[in-house]
Amino acid sequence: MTGKDLKDLFDTSGMSGDEFASKMAISRMHLYRLFKADELKPMDVENSNVIRREVLIKHQYYLPLIDFNLITFFGKAQFEEKIKGCEFYKVPDFEKIGTDYCVRMPDNSMEPRIMKDDILGCKHIKGESFIQPGKVYVIDTSQGWMCRRLFEGKKKGVFKVIGDREESLGFEMPRSEFEIKALVVGRISVYSI
């Protein structure tokens, strides 16, 4: 990271020089010297990364790639604290469709359409929501987190939970036994060439 990169971050942050320097745990005078540096020291880079994450989240330029367990905190004050160590991605198409965060597909249950380790763009769902049959949802069950398609079951209040694998027959689950956390609205395929 160069001094110019740091200056760009400062300009984007909307913070005063004193506030920005304070967050980096340096003096304002030292901050202005760093703007002219060819390369920053590792400690200065580490401190600036904390600010970078805050700025990116604040301006929602980038989407966090989060662990499934962090979905529970979305929309709460702890969320920003908990995602500080996450990677962030800028995906303009995801932003256009209202994506709130990204998760990595944990298994191969949705192959061949969604592969293990693909990055899924998710729109968070608060409380009860209308279920769109055939769409892929992130659900929290007593068996753990799952990404699956949901369909109306044979009985009222029961849903068929299905993966995309040919051999996946799916299973029925009462609505009371799972919580819908997010609708999957897009994916980035991750594979080796």
Same domain? 48 vs 123: no
pLDDT, tens digit (0-9, with 9 covering 90-100), for 71-115: 988 888 788 788 878 888 888 888 788 898 999 999 999 988 899
Task: Tell me how far apart the alpha carbons of residues 67 and 129 are, in angstroms, rounded to a whole number.
Answer: 23
Token representation of residue 99: 């994506």
DSSP state, residue 173: E
Q: What's the mean per-residue pLDDT of the chain?
A: 85
Task: Tell me how far apart the alpha carbons of residues 23 and 102 are, in angstroms, rounded to a whole number.
Answer: 27
Residue 147 pLDDT more than 70?
A: yes
Give me the number of domains the chain comprises.
2
Same domain? 183 vs 91: yes
Asked if 153 and 160 count as a contact pair (C-beta separation under 8 A), the reply is yes
Answer yes or no: is 73 within a domain: no
Mean pLDDT of the region 144-149:
92
With H, G, I as helix, E, B as strand and everything else as coil, classify residue 88.
strand
Which of 40, 59, 78 is the last residue before a domain boundary?
A: 59
DSSP state, residue 125: -
pLDDT computed for residue 93 by the predictor: 86
Same domain? 45 vs 99: no
Answer yes or no: is 113 within a domain: yes
pLDDT, tens digit (0-9, with 9 covering 90-100), for 6-51: 888 888 777 888 988 888 888 889 888 889 988 887 777 777 776 7
pLDDT computed for residue 193 by the predictor: 61
Residue 1 pLDDT more than 90?
A: no
pLDDT computed for residue 60 by the predictor: 57
Mean pLDDT of the region 103-132:
89
Provide the b/e sequence for 100-135 (b: ≥16 CB within 10 Å): bbbbbbeeebbbeebeeebbbbbbebeeeeebeeee
Domain housing 150: 87-188
